[in-house]
Amino acid sequence: MVPSLRYLVGARGRAHGALFGGFPGACGPASGRPRPLCGGGRSASTSSFDIVIVGGGIVGLASARALILRHPSLSIGVLEKEKDLAIHQTGHNSGVVHSGIYYKPESLKAKLCVQGAALLYEYCQQKGISYKQCGKLIVAVEQEEIPRLKALYERGLQNGVQGLRLIQQEDIKKKEPYCRGLMAIDCPHTGIVDYRQVALSFAQDFQEAGGSVLTNFEVKDIEMAKEGPSGSIDGMKYLIVIKNTKGEEIRCQYVVTCAGLYSDRISELSGCTSDPRIVPFRGDYLLLKPEKCYLVKGNIYPVPDSRFPFLGVHFTPRMDGSIWLGPNAVLAFKREGYRPFDFSATDVMDIIVNSGLIKLAYQNFSYGVTEMYKACFLGATVKYLQKFIPEITISDILRQVAVRGLSLWQQPMKMSDNNIDYFLWHCFTLLLTGSTCSFK
């Protein structure tokens, strides 16, 4: 059963490259030879679909929307384990619309980020979704950071990021009156948005086009349908059976998995590889008191150090007018554990046994200790923030409410023997391809 599902990724994937070219990892039935998708799927029962997308976050909903708009004759369903859509990774991120400056020139990540930012702004305008193109400063506060800043600026130019310019101290003050810095990159096309709003708009587009969304459907198993009386399955239309934890079944011809923090486990269920494994990290933010929000106008970021996996603590304005400060990056003991004491024995064992955590810890030990220290001691984080805005004090800071503890750095950090791909939240690439992003 499992080998025949894996076969589809090769033979069936090549046969239907025009349909699934933008959705790597799509799985479906294998009958020994390619067979075309059946059209006219609208007449199928509610428990049978031509294509099923597992995962109701922004990636799954964007994939479902794109598929149904390109192939309106197919019946397509989205399965989501929660009662509401887009409440995990999509609803737990900083909301930044990145411009594409960080990624290697000519890489797919760089191209998709630049294109994705423009497409997202256009989509929000069409749908009346609020966003703010408030810009971003990447600020060097030490002399040794300036060469890295200039190299990053050249990278952004090569990537085609619009409006980039290097500015000096006097222009930094014009953009951010309370920010201190020697030199900065001004990224005017960086913005902020509520990505859950975007995802729910995708869901509305998908349903209006005839798609179906099934919530409270937690996938437990994906298998091939049993053989018919003749010993052959060629005559059966819906060859894949998807079962949930309640014993209910959905049948389909193709499966696209977009399961966020459970991507590796759902991939394994579908017959594909579970590598690379996901290691969950939690990012905690601090909240600037409302009466101090005048100190920050747009996004303020440090100059990233390519030796370490994260972009560093930064200042992030939100659509509701609040200012977030962070994040740190600490190991989480539950994949969807947004609070410090959330724990899952299964997830912890998976981290220990099946991931590259030891390799990660060895290569970044000093950085990890620093992150844990900042997570425990508020003063350490504030001292770092004061490098950029000296007026900020401990009394100006609120710790983020537990239920809003963020999972920005709890996105998948994908591990393999020869590579550690550090995940940075980047919704444009997710929006277009469902792939992860990394800074290298």
Sign of CA dihedral 282, 288, 118, 139: negative
Which of 19-23, 219-223, 349-353 shows the lowest per-residue confidence on average (mean pLDDT)?
19-23
What integer is the mean pLDDT of 124-135? 98
pLDDT, the chain, mean:
79
| pLDDT of amino acid 35 | 29
108-127 and 195-208 are packed helices; what angle lies between their axes, rounded to 10 degrees? 70
- Name residue 187's beta-bridge partners: 136
Tens of pLDDT, residues 65-109: 999 999 999 999 999 999 999 999 999 989 999 999 999 999 999
Flag whether pLDDT at 379 surpasses 80: yes
| pLDDT of amino acid 231 | 52
C-alpha closest to that of 59 among 324, 237, 260, 205: 260
> Do 41 and 63 form a contact (C-beta atoms < 8 A)?
no
User: Which phi and psi (to 5°) does residue 349 adopt?
Assistant: -65, -40
Q: Which two tokens stand for residue 234?
A: 């060629």
Q: Give the dihedral of Cα atoms 310, 316, 318, 324; nearest 10 deg.
A: 90
C-alpha closest to that of 26 among 229, 255, 252, 350: 255
Flag whether pLDDT at 44 surpasses 60: no
Q: Confidence band (pLDDT; 50, 70, 90) for 187?
A: very high
| pLDDT of amino acid 10 | 31
> Do 276 and 266 form a contact (C-beta atoms < 8 A)?
no
By the 10 Å C-beta count (0-12 exposed, 13-18 middle, 19+ buried), 31 is classed as middle
- SS3 of 179-197: the string is CCCCEEEEECCCEEECHHH
| pLDDT of amino acid 409 | 30
| pLDDT of amino acid 177 | 97
Class of domain 96-193+276-422: alpha beta
Task: Report the CATH architecture of 48-86+198-270.
Answer: 3-Layer(bba) Sandwich (3.50)
Q: Where are the beta strands (DSSP E) in 171-310?
A: 183-187, 191-193, 212-214, 219-224, 240-244, 249-257, 277-279, 281-282, 286-288, 299-302
Alpha-carbon gap, residue 399 to 397, rounded angstroms: 7
Q: Confidence band (pLDDT; 50, 70, 90) for 367?
A: low
| pLDDT of amino acid 306 | 73
| pLDDT of amino acid 433 | 30
Flag whether pLDDT at 431 surpasses 90: no
Flag whether pLDDT at 185 surpasses 90: yes
3-class secondary structure, 48: strand
Flag whether pLDDT at 114 surpasses 70: yes
**Measured at the alpha carbon of residue 420, what is the angle toward residues 417 and 423, in degrees to the nearest 5?**
145
For the chain, which residues make up each domain, given as ranges? 48-86+198-270, 96-193+276-422
Tens of pLDDT, residues 274-319: 888 888 888 888 999 999 999 999 999 999 987 666 778 899 999 9
